[in-house]
Structure 1
Amino acid sequence: MEQKQKLKKNLGMSTAMATVVGCVIGSGVFFKPQAMFTATGGAPGLAMVAWLITGVVCICAAMTFAEIAILIPKTGGMVAYLEEVFGKKVGFLGGWMQSVLFYPAMISALAVACAQQAALFIGEGYTVPLAILAIILIIILNSLGSAVGGGVQIIFTICKLIPLFLLMIFGFVNGSGQNPIFTPMVADGLSPAVVLGQLMVAVLFAFEGWTNVGAIAGEMKNPGRDLPIAIVGGVSIIMAVYFVVNLAYLWVLPADQLKDMAAPASAVALALFGDFGGRLVSVGIMVSAFGACNGFVLSGSRVAYILAEEGNFPASKKLAKLNRAQVPVNSIILVGGIGCLFAISGQFNRLTDLAVFSCWTFYTLTFIAVMRYRKMRPDLNRTYKVPLYPVVPVIAIVSGVYVIINQLFLAGSTSSLLSLGSIVVTLVGLPVYYAVQKSKGRQAQAPQD
């Protein structure tokens, strides 16, 4: 009998945490302050508070996610959790959504962001080909082995933090510190309650990617020890970095100026270091976006792989095949290839909005699954439990429901259409699932005929 190939368990906590931090800190920290200060009418207070509030929400979500991730440390992450608690059909839909929509959209959006920054050096008009080229390069790197892909993740995570720390250090040292930080909360005539909702959605976008480490749990050396630390520790680091760097921005330039600047980080660097500083941060943004893109290829390909390994995906035999480096090269090509197609649009914000709405529907189901799994399997030895249960999971669930409602009904017609399109694409997975199951049934009966 042919021995079944297995993914190597050669990823440690450093790679896992780098995947969390590397996937999340992509481009949101460089671009989102502009949208947030625009929402507040140029007032800094509520925007700064929103980074803290939403950071706490994401930590609650991460602590909730960690419990089920540690109980089911399988490659594929959320797919495995949903399948265990809600059944194969729901698990497949989650994996289908991630494989054809969420991961490719995030990969393409980050590649587009990287290419847009490169345009500052080589001129306009090359965004789409450069974005596709970046994705192809990442596909090649990840095909060389999970250790190579993980190593790239660690290197780029360290590199992307360098310009952020430069902005923080020199911002506080050389900035005037005379600009308001926490007052006023919002501009006159704006409702703080309504604005806070807009700000939280923007910050949640900036935090996207923290769940990706669950998708590589099957390749971790010691998931029981490392996975909770990687998830909760990674999100805590991100929260601190986001808050402090935004504080540094305001130390240099006021919020009413930052709201009119598409890349606040570049504007702050320009004020601190001149033209050289602006270009330095542009390189930093490129590195940051490239590293995040690599993280999504590394994690996303494992979702397609686990579906294929179970025989629940079209062309499963090919997608479940491992190359000599023991990585699912065809699944890497699938997710990255769809990302290349998405990159043709060149639309960073729309691709990101589409991806985030899609995944938050299933994130919320995962939070619910944690509570349901406690009732289903109270006998399991839970080496890690969500602190302050059930308060922390409830905060995560309510936050997820809010994101879904906001994008469907409150965020404007374009966001609503994108969200509805996401639902349609996800539901297309149902006939695909039934077709694959029917094909599996015929193959199972064939030897008996």
Structure 2
Amino acid sequence: MEQNGLKREMGLPAALATVMGTVIGGGVFFKVASVTTAAGTANLTLFVWLLGGILTICAGLTVAELATAIPQTGGAIKYVEYTYGKPWAFLLGWAQMLIYFPANVAALSIIFSTQLINLFHLANGLLLPLAILCGTSITLINFLGARVGGALQVITLIFKLIPIVLIVIFGLLTPAPVHFALLPLTAGPQQGLWTAIGGGLLATMFAYDGWLNVGSIAGELRRPQRDLPLAIVLGLALITLIYVVINFVFLRTLPLNALQGNLNAAADAAFQIFGVAGGKLVTIGILISVYGAINGYTLTGMRIPFALAYNDQLPFSQYFRRLTPHTKVPYIAGLFELAVAIVMMLFGSFDLLTDMLVFVIWGFSCLIFVAVFILRRREPELERPYKVPGYPLIPLLALVGGLFILIETLITQPGLALTGIGLTIIGLPLYYWHQHSHV
């Protein structure tokens, strides 16, 4: 199997940092609004954060088997292509370039703008202009070259952890204004238990997003059989612990009705814990964290249409392949991703966009979980430096969890689900038309 010239120099600490850096983004600060709304109670809110973490660990462990068996540049797209063929791989790339990456940029730009308005008491009418300015500025920064975009990512990664650590430590030490029981688990008065769990779980998945890429480091690990599962379990377990604890702090700092539907909940909690001056500093840290998360999706996102065009899989591939003269950045692909993100900003809210991208990407994730079973049967001789522990239980748990998210979304948000499916499926006739026209 192709190794792409990667050097196996990465040990467990570097792998652990990569896993945590890939997954921790802006969602931990802002999804408390929709999770508390869906769950309806404090204890069920904490439960779905824990459940989301367990599901993510199962998913990461499962995908890692494919990452070590198929260590090719392209990650998930290559796993799908190897198992199901090029049309399905194209569909995943198409969904990423049309929905996943632009929706992430749009949703987080809206959040950045919301926090900026809240922090400096600006007019609400500036929400969209500031969101568009945010997304555009990051795209232009990335046009300066991958080195600049990468440097911004390193700097913001450091700032990403500061507000989390401060809120957790000082939030736990501060006397709790709000008290609640952890057991028994109950839903809100207007929700059934399973509906509340399903809605809450879907909402948490945006904060855990990024796990699909954790297996991409497999080709650079010195001991993938030992270090990859350890990095995934330890990294995602630590993230789960962080998410549960920081939400515990939010829930003991502000009453439930002050968290539900409040995208400024993290900032409000910071002001409650640290006072006005400290709250502003922590909120600025949150803004830097969000800006860095947008940069990560921009940096990676513009390279998806470029990669598809490089293989001549898109109409107008000759344009999507174009690079800036000096910095060698795919600027047409970047402008396309920005344009789609701006359209999404105009028509979608933060929760609408994040729920859609979670739904679409988990549809493909379920295909990847199934691929582990298919390849075990179809190619038992395939070299697997790492095998998912607890097979077939762990992959089955990941698959059942993924299907639960998909079915729950189809039942509770059919319009959103069908829109996501529709935008994905239109890539198929486009693929075959383009292939036919180039015969």
Q: Shorter-chain TM-score: which interval?
A: 0.7 to 0.9
Amino acid at match of 1:146: A
2: CA distance, partners of 1:431 / 1:11: 43
Q: Secondary structure at the match of 2:384?
A: coil
Corresponding residue for residue 154 of structure 2: 154
CA deviation vs aligned residue, 1:241-295 (integer Å, no higher than 9, x gap): 1011112223433445534744332222222222224423432332222122112
Q: Closer, same or farther in 2 for the Cα pair 1:298/1:8, shift >3 Å?
A: farther
Q: Closer, same or farther in 2 for the Cα pair 1:327/1:70, shift >3 Å?
A: farther
Corresponding residue for residue 75 of structure 2: 77
Percentage of pairs with the same residue: 38
TM-score when scaled to structure 1? 0.85
Q: Retained in 2: the 8 A contact 1:23–1:291? A: no
Q: Secondary structure at the match of 1:125?
A: helix
Q: Closer, same or farther in 2 for the Cα pair 1:187/1:426, shift >3 Å?
A: closer
Q: For residues 59-138 of structure 1, what are the structure 2 equivalents within 5 Å?
A: 59-120=57-118, 121=120, 122-138=122-138
Corresponding residue for residue 179 of structure 2: 179
CA deviation vs aligned residue, 1:127-161 (integer Å, no higher than 9, x gap): 22222222222223333443433332232122021
Amino acid at match of 1:417: G
1:366 to 360, 365, 368: 368
Corresponding residue for residue 405 of structure 1: 407
> Following TM superposition, by how much is the alpha carbon of 1:82 offset from its aligned partner in structure 2, in angstroms?
0.7
Q: Retained in 1: the 8 A contact 2:34–2:351? A: no
Corresponding residue for residue 197 of structure 1: 198
TM-score when scaled to structure 2? 0.87
2: CA distance, partners of 1:144 / 1:217: 26
1: CA distance, partners of 2:14 / 2:315: 30
1: CA distance, partners of 2:27 / 2:99: 20
Corresponding residue for residue 295 of structure 2: 294
Q: Secondary structure at the match of 1:344?
A: helix
2: CA distance, partners of 1:300 / 1:11: 27
> Following TM superposition, by how much is the alpha carbon of 1:92 offset from its aligned partner in structure 2, in angstroms?
0.8
- Unpaired runs of 5+ residues, structure 2, are none
Q: Secondary structure at the match of 2:83?
A: helix
Corresponding residue for residue 274 of structure 2: 273
Corresponding residue for residue 375 of structure 1: 377
Q: Retained in 2: the 8 A contact 1:20–1:231? A: yes
> Following TM superposition, by how much is the alpha carbon of 1:239 offset from its aligned partner in structure 2, in angstroms?
1.1
Amino acid at match of 2:176: S
Q: Secondary structure at the match of 1:404?
A: helix
Amino acid at match of 1:158: I
2: CA distance, partners of 1:143 / 1:237: 34
1: CA distance, partners of 2:313 / 2:286: 38
2: CA distance, partners of 1:283 / 1:176: 24
CA deviation vs aligned residue, 1:182-211 (integer Å, no higher than 9, x gap): 145225755433322222222223212322
CA deviation vs aligned residue, 1:24-55 (integer Å, no higher than 9, x gap): 433322232233333343x3222212211221
Corresponding residue for residue 436 of structure 1: 434
Q: Secondary structure at the match of 1:378?
A: coil
2: CA distance, partners of 1:234 / 1:267: 28
Q: Retained in 1: the 8 A contact 2:64–2:214? A: no
Corresponding residue for residue 163 of structure 2: 163
Q: Secondary structure at the match of 1:280?
A: helix
1: CA distance, partners of 2:100 / 2:185: 34
1: CA distance, partners of 2:9 / 2:349: 33
Q: Retained in 2: the 8 A contact 1:20–1:211? A: no
Query: Relative to structure 2, which stretch is displaced further, 69-78 or 251-260?
Result: 251-260
Query: Relative to structure 2, which stretch is displaced further, 274-283 or 58-67?
Result: 274-283
Q: Retained in 2: the 8 A contact 1:115–1:286? A: no
Q: Retained in 2: the 8 A contact 1:57–1:395? A: yes
> Following TM superposition, by how much is the alpha carbon of 1:177 offset from its aligned partner in structure 2, in angstroms?
7.5
Corresponding residue for residue 418 of structure 1: 416
> Following TM superposition, by how much is the alpha carbon of 1:91 offset from its aligned partner in structure 2, in angstroms?
0.8
Corresponding residue for residue 54 of structure 2: 56
2: CA distance, partners of 1:188 / 1:132: 36
Q: Retained in 1: the 8 A contact 2:19–2:232? A: yes
2: CA distance, partners of 1:151 / 1:232: 28
Amino acid at match of 1:80: K
Query: Relative to structure 2, which stretch is displaced further, 220-229 or 101-110?
Result: 220-229
> Following TM superposition, by how much is the alpha carbon of 1:163 offset from its aligned partner in structure 2, in angstroms?
1.0
Corresponding residue for residue 46 of structure 1: 44
Q: Retained in 1: the 8 A contact 2:111–2:263? A: no
Q: Secondary structure at the match of 2:79?
A: helix
Q: How many residues align?
A: 429
1:387 to 2:389 alignment: yes
Q: Secondary structure at the match of 1:175?
A: coil
Q: Closer, same or farther in 2 for the Cα pair 1:8/1:341, shift >3 Å?
A: farther
> Following TM superposition, by how much is the alpha carbon of 1:322 offset from its aligned partner in structure 2, in angstroms?
4.8
Q: Retained in 2: the 8 A contact 1:67–1:386? A: yes
Q: Retained in 2: the 8 A contact 1:79–1:91? A: yes
Query: Relative to structure 2, which stretch is displaced further, 51-60 or 191-200?
Result: 191-200
Q: Closer, same or farther in 2 for the Cα pair 1:175/1:259, shift >3 Å?
A: farther
1: CA distance, partners of 2:349 / 2:333: 24
Q: Secondary structure at the match of 2:186?
A: coil
Corresponding residue for residue 207 of structure 2: 206
Q: Retained in 2: the 8 A contact 1:131–1:343? A: yes
1: CA distance, partners of 2:345 / 2:8: 32
1: CA distance, partners of 2:67 / 2:425: 25
Corresponding residue for residue 36 of structure 1: 35
Query: Relative to structure 2, which stretch is displaced further, 259-268 or 236-245?
Result: 259-268
1: CA distance, partners of 2:337 / 2:242: 30
Q: Retained in 2: the 8 A contact 1:67–1:384? A: yes
CA deviation vs aligned residue, 1:90-143 (integer Å, no higher than 9, x gap): 111111111111211111111111111111224332222222222222223333
Q: Closer, same or farther in 2 for the Cα pair 1:375/1:142, shift >3 Å?
A: farther
Q: Retained in 1: the 8 A contact 2:202–2:355? A: no
Q: CA RMSD in A?
A: 3.1
> Following TM superposition, by how much is the alpha carbon of 1:373 offset from its aligned partner in structure 2, in angstroms?
1.8
Amino acid at match of 2:35: M
